[in-house]
Each structure stands twice: as C-alpha cells, then as structure tokens.
Structure 1
Amino acid sequence: MNNYWDQEINNNIQYIKQLSKQYPTINSACTEVINLEAILNLPKGTEHYLSDIHGEYEAFIHVLNNASGVIRRKIDYIFDNTIREHEKRRLAMLIYYPEQILEKVKNEEENLLEWYEITLHRLVLVCREISSKYTRSKVRKALPKDFEYIIEELLHEQQREVNKQEYYDGIINTIIEINRADNFMIAICRVIQRLAIDRLHIIGDIYDRGPGAHIILDKLMQHHSIDIQWGNHDILWMGAAAGSLACIASTIRISARYGNLNTIEEGYGINLLPLATFAMEYYKDDNCNNFDLVVSDKSAYTCKEINIIKKIHKAISIIQFKLEGKIIQRNPNFIMNDRLLLNMIDYEKGIIKIAEKTYKLSDNYFPTINPKNPYELTIEEKDVMEKLRLSYKNNEKLQKHTRFLFSKGSMYLTYNSNLLFHGCIPMDKKGVFNKVTIDGESYGGKELIDKIEMLIREYYFNNNNELNNIDYFWYLWTGPDSPLFGKNKMATFERYFLNDKAIKKEDKNSYYRYRDSEDKCREILQEFGISEDNSHIINGHVPVEVKKGESPIKAKGKLLVIDGGLSEAYQHITGIAGYTLIYNSYGLLMVAHEKFESKKKAIDNEKDIVSSYQILEKNNKRLRVKNTDIGKELKKEIIGLKMLLQAYHKGIIKEK
C-alpha cells in the first residue's frame, strides 16, 4: 500500500504541491476530505430539461418559476389537508410571482399582519423542504446577502427545541414590525425558485416565432447552473451576430412572418427603417398576399402595419434567396445546387422548372431580380444589408447574448450518462453516419459535430474573414447534413411561391427512422463514449404529435423527445404546450404542460399551468451525488487530498 502511495505521489507531485497551497495543513486537508465524502452521500440535485422555447417568454418563465410543478407538489406534500386549496394556490403563486401577488394581497386582505405572520412561517417550511437535500454551504450561497443570517437561522429551526420557539417567532414578528416582510418574502421566494432546479438544460431553439427570445436570454443569464445545446434557430442568430448576411436576412424574414419584428427593433434596438423604406418603394404596388402574417390573432395590428410588414417580409425574402444562392455557389462541398431556384424561373411566363417538372408561380412580381444574374443584389439591397450587418455586429445586447450562447452552449453535451443534442446525428438510409467533406477531410458522427463546432467558434472569436467559416453558420441552419436541421431541404421558396403540396415536403434525415431502434440508440451513445445501461438520448427539434397518438418516448425509453410545443405556433400540431423532463434522485419524470394563457391571467386568477406527470424510470435506490458527474470530480479531488495527506505524513511536503 505504501509503495502505491509513493508511486502516486511521485507521479502527481506538481499537482499535490499546488493543492498544498489551498490546504496548507493536515487538519485543513482532513476537514475537506470529510466534507467531500459527506457531499457524495447527499441526494443528487434535480435536473430540468426544456427545449424549443421559441421566444414564448411568459410560458417559459412560468415553467421555470414553478419548477415544472415541483414547487406546488412540495406544498401539497408539506401541508396536505392542513390548509385549504385556495391557500395552497395563493402560496404557490406567491412563490412564482412574489412582487405581483404581494401587491394583490395588500388590496384584498383585511388582516394583513396576520397574513404576513402565517405566510412567512409557511414559506420557511417550503424553503426548508426544498433545501433539505443540499449542504448548508450550498444553501448559504443561494441566500441573498441582506437576509442570509436570518433565513439560515429559520431554515435550521428544530421544532423540538421548545426553548428556541420564542426566538424563531421573535424573528418573524420583528421582520413584520420593521416593515421588512415584503422584502423578506421576495427574497425567500427567490431562494425556493433557485433551489428547486439544481441544473437547467436547454435543448435548443430559444429564438424565433414567439415574441421574447431576448427576454428569455436575459433570464437564462441570471441562472446559477445552466447549459444549452444549440438549435438551428439559435445558430441562425449566432450567425447573424457573426455578420452572415444570409443569417441576418433569415432572422428578419422569420420575425416578419410571425409578427415579431419588435424582437429586433425594440428587444435589440436594431433599426429596420432603411429596410422598410426600401420595401415600401419597390413593393408599393404589390399586395404581397403570399407574405401574410402567421399569427393566431391579427387584432393587435392595424391594416397599415400589416401592409408594411408584408412588404418587408417579401423584400427580405428575395434578398435572402439571393444571398443563399451566393453561399451555395461558393461552397460546392455543401452539395446544395438543387436549392439554386432563382435561375430556374422563366420570369416572363411566371413558371419554374424543378427536377424536370414545371410549376406555375403563385407570385411573379420580382422588381429587384435581374433574370440574367438573379443572385446579384441591387445597389439598394447591398446598402440595406450593409447597414443591417453593421447594426447586428455592433449591437451590444445581441453580442452579449451570443457570447453567452457560446460560453454556456455547445452542439451536444454528455451529462450524467445522458446525451443531449437538439436535432440529429445525420445518417444515410442504411443507418450509417453520413460523411461530410470539410477542408478536404471527411467527417461523420461525433467527429463531424466536433469539427463543425470548432469551425464556428473559430470564426466568431477570431473573426478571420474566411467566408467559408461564416457560411457554416448558415449551413447548420438549413443544410441537408446539418445535425441541427436534419432534413433534405428547407422549402422556404416553395411555401411562398408554389401551390403544389408535394414540392413543399421536407424529408427528414434517416436518423428519425432509426431513433426508434434501441440498438441504434445504443450505437449512438457509444459513439459519444456512453455505455451505461441507464443512459438516454434527449432530443428536441421535431414536435411530438401527441394529438395523433405519438409518444415522446422512443426506442423502449432510450431516446426521449421533449419538444411538445411550448411555442404557440406548434400547439395545433402537438395538442399540448410543451414537455419538461425532470431527472431527480428518484428517477426520470416527464411533465406535459397545457396551454399557458398569460402571466396576467395567472396572477389575476391565481391559476397555475395545468401539467400531467408520467414516471419514466424509478430508481430502486435513491441516486446520490456520488452517482453523478459531479460525484466523479469530487472523488478525484478526494484522491488528490489523500495523496496530499500521505505527502504530509511522509514529510515529502511540509505543513505551513
């Protein structure tokens, strides 16, 4: 045994010397070993997985605030039948929206002081239950500085200590007497929210369709523990921030289509006036009917506003098609020549030839296209796009959000024996990983995804002006072998200009057929270095058509799809309003959410989002921190500390 330690100390002497600076005595090293060993035996923290938020900030924030219903379930567990249903409902809503509910209570409660006293005690009980699985040190880090000592005292109240009961009651009464009850309640509600979700995983697509992607990102930037797997809509905005004109055009087109130009103009403060002026000049005589808004309720817009948006929508769409054509022409390795459609149009006859078949265009007004050189931007289009490029690249808020997506995000993540990615691992019809040529080399599977991530990181941070690198942002958005897109084409042109349904069909990558195979899912997991029996693939991207009987559980539970339609634009397909996956110490739980109407209605009616729960896996033994990735790191730290202790005992390193 001594020989073992001697060899280990010798092999790791530099690391041990560095460790001795942090733990300069035997006592300090022993204390940390005891602390870490204790942490290993705590229950694992609760992980929450969400995907495809698509700008629906009110629904997302509500799900985050109520921890997918976990907080309400804790309230039911703690109080059971001891308080009435409406009291439970109000307590839950207070935790979700403390400022707003406090304002409401002040207008409704006749005996406010009594309500404060009762509610403060109840909040402490909820906070105590939520925090029970964590160390005092971790809870302390979550506490606001103003109330750190007081909350900590109340959380560790022992009801058996009769002598201290008056002491605890005195704390509560004093908080009320000195008019700090509101501030204290808000503080403890925030602590409950934070501790209810130990780790948040976002499986892609924060942007587009809904009205508040920028609000969601501001919220995510405040979260204490988060990772993000990029979706194709996220990479589109990241590409726009990097200066890709095609990506910029696409972000504006989608925002116009879904009536969300406010995200660009007000959310990011980007000036769209040059584009609007251009559109009104060149499309003033065009009704642009094919470019109408895709919204459930147009009453929020005037006829004049709708007319302007439609013209902006068409103008930027034509610019987008031109810019995309240029990318395809300069990147033959993308193998996307079938998407070069502007040169296939007979502009006099108003027809287009695609794959040897001729179609009549439903709109043949193209005032800015030169039939002899259809992909060339006009001088005015170039001027508009250059102004937009400078606005996107120099926008402080957009760049801050993009850097956050790079720092907390990635193409995929392996975490606690699960593989998280938004879209797919591109495969051919035989289920073999597709090979893609990049810089003369062929890549497939994990190597392909690693290579693409390296390229886009290199471009954004080095900004080396190599067009091919920046074009990969756009390819990830729409390319046939993109892991984030996973279809043979994005039929944007066809949706706007052709009536034939067949030509608009977008065929999914073979991955979506093979993901039902347990063996194929195990093969994918092994490709990413995961071989544990309890491992899973967790996907978003393709909405689960629940109302048609589709299940989010694939391949006998090896693959879980959590895009249930949090975005309103997809709810007619899914029949629900989003999934959350919860992974706690007891097992895996899938939560299906019903439609969330609005924050205002939730507060006014004190009505929580309706959610249903499905247990996917239940652990025979409660999982502990030692069973997690964090546990693996802690075990390494313990080994290092034990080597340090041996070095102290042997005199190899002296105590300070």
Structure 2
Amino acid sequence: MDQMKYLKELAVRYPNVAAASTEIINLQAILHLPKGTEHYVSDVHGEYEKFSHIIRNGSGAIRSRIEDEFGNTLTTKQKKNLASVIYYPEQKMDLMEEELPKNFLLEWQHDTMVRLVHVARSVGNKYTRSKVRKAMSPEFAYVMEELMVEHRRADKKRYVEQILETIIMTGRVRQFIAAMAHLIQDLTIDHLHVIGDIYDRGSGPHRIMDCIMKTANVDIQWGNHDILWMGAASGHRACICNVVRICARYNNLDVLENGYGINLIPLARFALECYKDDECELFHASGEVDESNIREEELNKKMHKAIAIMQFKVEGQLIKRRPDFLMDQRLLLDKIDYEKGTITLDGKEYELKDKNFPTIDPNDPYKLTKEEEYVMEHLVTVFKYCAYLQEHIRFLFAKGHLYKVFNGMLLYHGCVPLNEDGTFREVEIEGRKYAGKELYDVLEHLARQGYYEEKDMKARKYGQDIMWFIWSNENSPVYGKAKMATFERYFLDDVDLKKEKKDYYYQWYENEAVINQILEEFGLDTSTGKIVNGHMPVAVKKGESPIKCGGKLFVIDGGFSKAYQKTTGIAGYTLVSNSYGLKLVAHEPFVSRTIAIREETDIHSDTIVINKVTKRKCVMDTDNGKALQEKVADLEQLLWAYQKGLITERI
C-alpha cells in the first residue's frame, strides 16, 4: 500500500510510459559521465583576493586545461593572456582596450572568443548539455551552445564566423567574452567544500561570503572563528567582544564598520575617554598598519584594550553561570592583586606587563561599569540587526554543519576529542555524556538552537553559550586546545603560560587504528574513507607534511592567512578530487589582483598526486550517483506498474 501510494505520487511527474522511460534513459546516461571536480579549501581567514583568485583559476586547473588544449599552437604569452582573460575578463578587456590600436583590438577580440569557445567546450565535455546550458548566461546561452557544438565542423565554418562577426558588430563582444570566462570558471569547479574559518585576520571575510553565496554547489564545515561570528550575530556578548577584539588586533575594524556597517562610535568614545592617558602599548595591531595615520593607530589601540577588558569580564560572568563548562581555571581577573600589579596562578606570582585597569572593581572584577554596559548593549543591538551580517550567517547555517560525510570523505574543521590512550573522550552536556559523532551532533543542534529559538529564551541562551563553548573550550571538537591563552598573551611574559596544548587527537592522527576508529564512528569504509580537516597550520618549512596516516587524513591549513605564512612557509592548500583521483595543491603567496591582470602572472602552485585511479570515476561512484540509482529503481517500478495496468497512464 505504501509503495503504491509513493508510485502514484511519482506518476504525477512522470504520467506515462514514455515520460518514465525517457527519464530512466537520461539518468542512466548521467551515471556514466565522469565525476565532477571537487575542491576543498580551509582557513581562508578573510584573504579575499587570494581566495577569489584560486576559485577563478580552479587551483591551476584552467592553466592546465589551456596547455592541454593549445599545446604549441599558442605562445606562452598568448596562453598567459588567455588565462588572465578567463580569471578577470572585465578588467583584462579594459586593459587591452587601453593598450591595443583598434584594428589589433578587433583581431584580439575575435581570437580570444574562438579560444574561449575551445576551452569552454573542453571543460564542459564531462557534463550533460543540460547542465552546461544552465550554467550559461541567459543572454548568450543559444549562441554559446551553438559555438561550442559547431565550431569544429568544417561545413559550419562560415556559420561560426558569422556569429563571431555579428557579436563584434553589435557591440556585445565585452559581454560575450565575460560570459564565456565565467562559464569556464563555473564548470571548472563542480563542488566547493570550505573546511572552516572564513572569518577573522584578513580584511575581506564579507566579500568571501558574497563569493561563496554565488557558488552553485557548496558546503561549509564551521570553523571556530565562523562559530564565533555566528554567536555574535545571535547577540551573544562574549562572542561579540571576541569578534571586535580580533578585528582590532588585526587592524580590521573596517570589516565591521565599512564591510558590515556596524557602528563602533560608542566604543571609540568610551575608549578615548577611559584610556585617554593610557598609551595601551600592549594592544598594538598585529596586521598591516598605516603608519602615516598615527591618530587612527592610537584610537585602535585604545579600542582594542577597552574591548579586551570587557571580554574578560563577560567571559567571567559566563563561566560562573555555566559551571558545567568546567572552565573555572579561566577566571583570571579575581587572581590579580591590583595594588601590586601582579597575578597569582597555580600558587606562583607573575608581574603584569600592563597594570592600568581603571574599569575593574577589585571587589567585583567581572562587573561591567555603567559606561561599559552602555557600549555592550549598543554592540548587541547593532550585531543583531545588521541585515548584511544576518544574511551571511543564515547562509552559514543553511549550507554549513560541524561535519559532513560526502563521497567517502569525512570533513570537519578541527578534530575528534580523544583521551590520552586514543579513545573517544566523553564530554558532559546538559547532564548527559557525549563522544565522537554524538558530540558533534549535539553541539550542532544546540548552536542552531542558540540562533533560531525564539520562544524558549532559556534554551536560546544556552545555545548561545554553547557557541562560545565551541569557540574556546578544550572539549570542543572545533577548537581542540587545552585553553585559549588570550589574557596571557597580552599581559604576561612567561612563554609556558602562553602555550595552548593541543588535543590528543594531534598525537594520534598518524595512527591507523585510531583513524579507522574515527572513520567507523562516522559510518565510512576504513579501506577507502579519508578525513579532511584544517585548523592547525602545517609547518611545511620545518618538514611537516599535510598528508597524515599514509594518505588517510589531510590537514589542509597551509597558511591562506598572511599571519600564518611565516610558520607554514607557503600560502595555502587546496585538495582536488576529480574523476582521475586525488591531488594536493600547495600555493605560493598571491601578490595582488592588479599585478595578476597587468603582468599576467598566476599563483605558482605545486601539485602532489596522492592517488591516481586505474578506472576513471563516474557519477555512479558518488553519493549523488547512489541517489540517482535509487531514483532509477523507483522509475523502473513505476514503469512496471504502468505495464501491469496497476496505474493508469495519462496520455
């Protein structure tokens, strides 16, 4: 009865034998197409220009495609010029119009269109014509399809030439070249996986979010920095303080003020008044500073200190409110002797590098002053009601998760918390213990609760606190360190106190038995499954490899953020999975978009082929292929029902 009910519902869409048969034929054909190319990036940390370039060049795939397509028939300069057009079509055409006389410009436009058609046909070969058509600009879809299908036929040569000449004659050549370039970009990456940490450090996280939101097939595994912004957008005080402090620390307050339109004037006024006689030397920016604007730099330092003190206060309030978070060791303001300017930790006294705390009451150190309370309330309001930020955060919730299993790969940003012996560590949440996959699931559920719950304010508040827990707790799979030593980095000289001990996961991730345990926990085949995570920068220049456990695990945080490139020695990784296998691409630093366009330079990338399959993978070998095969089976049942007369055809 249930099966017949389902088949009758399916018959609404496929009302007769012809319709069901045609769909079966289409799906069976798709199953035998080559698997689409998946790209994995991690820890992009606001580096928009570089992220955008790597997406535009497909981690070097477009350059390779041009080489394969044209070989020695084009010069190196011509191939670089073509690649530059594909990456930045509008800007490159502006430059060519400036540099070339009109007769040479017309010839360049004609040749560029022909070459773009060749490349588009090459990258579109492994997709159905329907999928390629959907990726085309509606304005040029018919013309683009005609050119891609007919351009190699000798008997259609004049037909093709007439199309190209008419595009030029009607003044639509710029729009057509741009449409072809964007089509090539879109077809080069079939699915994008972002393994966390879009936000913080770099100056363009909002632009990265805009870019990701335009990508057809994308998923995101939340990093601890993403969760922090998600909590801030929900109006959580501790998360907001951390977001503002990190922006100040990396000289990126413009991300908030100009990027998202968040008004920081009350914080600036408070900081100038409260710390007017304080040079705030410990709070200088770590990012690029405009030395010509000393006044702005001084204001940034004062705002930096003001929000840091507020952060320590509201975090202290949270820790007291949530004893189940087991973070009492992070209550530090009550350990300070404000007269002596020292702090006592584990029975040892340390001198503070900064002893000026005009807003802290030694008798109640975690209480905000009236002025701080006003600033805090203002920040909560502007974060909660920033429409642009909320649009981005809702997208993170819609397309994101703490982990994802996809095509035999387990994707998560940080780790799976382990005990010293390599077993899953149990973490108590709301009176119940969770470990492994269950821990991930409950934390994600509570994070969503903290953002979306509107009726049960107690549940919402707990979910918001959990987002801060995910950001900074040692039991968080996304953070994966024993403590976040923010206070120690600012105020103490002792190197040992600043150390943030990593989770035992990072001692065990070369052990195959432990990795197999994790794969099994998340339902993957231990013989073929692989893990991809980021979060911990790979020190390549010290000989560390991103490939762990014989190729079962990949740590692809290679230093997209400039702040980490001194540690890693490179400027980021992308992992690429296509029908031929798996490869790791290591990228050199990206100078600027202007240089890439004008000098036709690209990011130099070294590729490591990890495994090359003997039989090219098809759609049927993917998760999407399994879903299509299930649909074929259902349609075959429908076909049988039509043939047996159990369901009447509609002709």
TM-score higher than 0.5 here?
Answer: yes
Equivalent positions of 1:5-24 (< 5 A) are 10-24=1-15
CA shift for structure 1 position 156? 1.0
Measured in 2, the distance between the counterparts of 1:459 and 1:571 equals 35
Partner of 1:548: 542
Deviations 1:366-408 (A, max 9, x none): 0000001100111111110001100000010010000000000
CA shift for structure 1 position 597? 1.0
Write the letter of the residue equivalent to 1:237: W
Q: Among 468, 483, 491, which residue is 1:489 paired with?
A: 483
Write the letter of the residue equivalent to 1:448: L
Identify the range of structure 1 (484-493 vs 530-539) with the bigger mean alpha-carbon deviation. Answer: 530-539
Contact 1:417 / 1:532 at 8 angstroms: preserved in 2? no
Partner of 1:145: 138
Measured in 1, the distance between the counterparts of 2:4 and 2:555 equals 47
Equivalent positions of 1:295-310 (< 5 A) are 295=287, 297-299=288-290, 302-310=293-301
Measured in 1, the distance between the counterparts of 2:156 and 2:75 equals 29
Q: Structure 2-normalised TM-score? A: 0.98
Contact 1:427 / 1:511 at 8 angstroms: preserved in 2? yes
Partner of 2:645: 651
Partner of 1:453: 444
Asked if residue 217 in structure 1 is aligned to residue 217 in structure 2, the reply is no
> Cα distance 1:400–1:260, how it changes in 2: closer, same or farther (>3 A)?
same
Identity of aligned residues (%): 51
Partner of 1:422: 413
Measured in 2, the distance between the counterparts of 1:140 and 1:460 equals 38
Partner of 2:67: 76
CA shift for structure 1 position 504? 0.4
Measured on the aligned residues, the alpha-carbon RMSD in Å equals 0.9
- SS at structure 2 position matched to 1:81: helix
Asked if residue 133 in structure 1 is aligned to residue 126 in structure 2, the reply is yes
- SS at structure 1 position matched to 2:483: coil
Structure 1 residues without counterparts, runs of 5 or longer: 1-9
Measured in 1, the distance between the counterparts of 2:343 and 2:65 equals 61
Q: Among 141, 146, 154, which residue is 2:147 paired with?
A: 154
Deviations 1:329-387 (A, max 9, x none): 11111101000000000111111111121111111100000001100111111110001
Deviations 1:553-588 (A, max 9, x none): 000100001100011010000000000000000000
Deviations 1:67-124 (A, max 9, x none): 1110000001111111111110010010000000000111122311111111110000
Equivalent positions of 1:186-225 (< 5 A) are 186-225=178-217
Deviations 1:192-221 (A, max 9, x none): 000000000000000000001001001111
- SS at structure 2 position matched to 1:45: coil
Measured in 1, the distance between the counterparts of 2:605 and 2:528 equals 26
> Cα distance 1:102–1:300, how it changes in 2: closer, same or farther (>3 A)?
farther
Contact 2:538 / 2:544 at 8 angstroms: preserved in 1? yes
CA shift for structure 1 position 162? 2.5
Measured in 2, the distance between the counterparts of 1:218 and 1:527 equals 34
- SS at structure 2 position matched to 1:485: coil
Deviations 1:527-566 (A, max 9, x none): 0000152211000100000000000000010000110001
Deviations 1:280-305 (A, max 9, x none): 1111111111111102x433651111
Partner of 1:269: 261
Asked if residue 25 in structure 1 is aligned to residue 34 in structure 2, the reply is no
Measured in 2, the distance between the counterparts of 1:534 and 1:69 equals 26
CA shift for structure 1 position 42? 0.3
Equivalent positions of 1:309-458 (< 5 A) are 309-458=300-449
Measured in 1, the distance between the counterparts of 2:529 and 2:166 equals 51
Measured in 2, the distance between the counterparts of 1:584 and 1:343 equals 55
Q: Among 572, 586, 605, which residue is 2:580 paired with?
A: 586
Partner of 1:6: none
Identify the range of structure 1 (110-119 vs 211-220) with the bigger mean alpha-carbon deviation. Answer: 110-119
CA shift for structure 1 position 465? 2.3
Alignment length (residue pairs): 645
- SS at structure 1 position matched to 2:290: helix
Contact 1:538 / 1:560 at 8 angstroms: preserved in 2? yes
Equivalent positions of 1:239-254 (< 5 A) are 239-254=231-246
Partner of 2:276: 284
Q: Structure 1-normalised TM-score? A: 0.97
Partner of 2:76: 85
- SS at structure 2 position matched to 1:414: strand
Asked if residue 538 in structure 1 is aligned to residue 532 in structure 2, the reply is yes
CA shift for structure 1 position 468? 2.0
Equivalent positions of 1:459-470 (< 5 A) are 459-463=450-454, 464-466=456-458, 467-470=461-464
Contact 2:537 / 2:564 at 8 angstroms: preserved in 1? yes
Contact 2:43 / 2:534 at 8 angstroms: preserved in 1? yes
Write the letter of the residue equivalent to 2:188: A
Measured in 1, the distance between the counterparts of 2:501 and 2:492 equals 18
Partner of 1:55: 46
Measured in 2, the distance between the counterparts of 1:40 and 1:318 equals 58
Deviations 1:139-192 (A, max 9, x none): 011011100100011111262x32211111111111111111111000010100
Contact 2:448 / 2:463 at 8 angstroms: preserved in 1? no
Equivalent positions of 1:178-189 (< 5 A) are 178-189=170-181
- SS at structure 1 position matched to 2:180: helix
Partner of 1:5: none
Deviations 1:224-248 (A, max 9, x none): 0000000000000000001110000
Identify the range of structure 1 (507-516 vs 427-436) with the bigger mean alpha-carbon deviation. Answer: 427-436
Write the letter of the residue equivalent to 2:135: A
Write the letter of the residue equivalent to 1:261: L
Contact 1:412 / 1:422 at 8 angstroms: preserved in 2? yes
Measured in 1, the distance between the counterparts of 2:355 and 2:423 equals 42
Asked if residue 505 in structure 1 is aligned to residue 496 in structure 2, the reply is no
Measured in 1, the distance between the counterparts of 2:292 and 2:261 equals 20
- SS at structure 1 position matched to 2:503: coil
Structure 2 residues without counterparts, runs of 5 or longer: none
Contact 2:450 / 2:467 at 8 angstroms: preserved in 1? no
Q: Among 560, 563, 574, which residue is 2:557 paired with?
A: 563
- SS at structure 1 position matched to 2:558: coil
- SS at structure 2 position matched to 1:227: strand
Measured in 2, the distance between the counterparts of 1:500 and 1:369 equals 24
Measured in 2, the distance between the counterparts of 1:217 and 1:300 equals 30
Measured in 1, the distance between the counterparts of 2:299 and 2:177 equals 47
CA shift for structure 1 position 274? 0.1
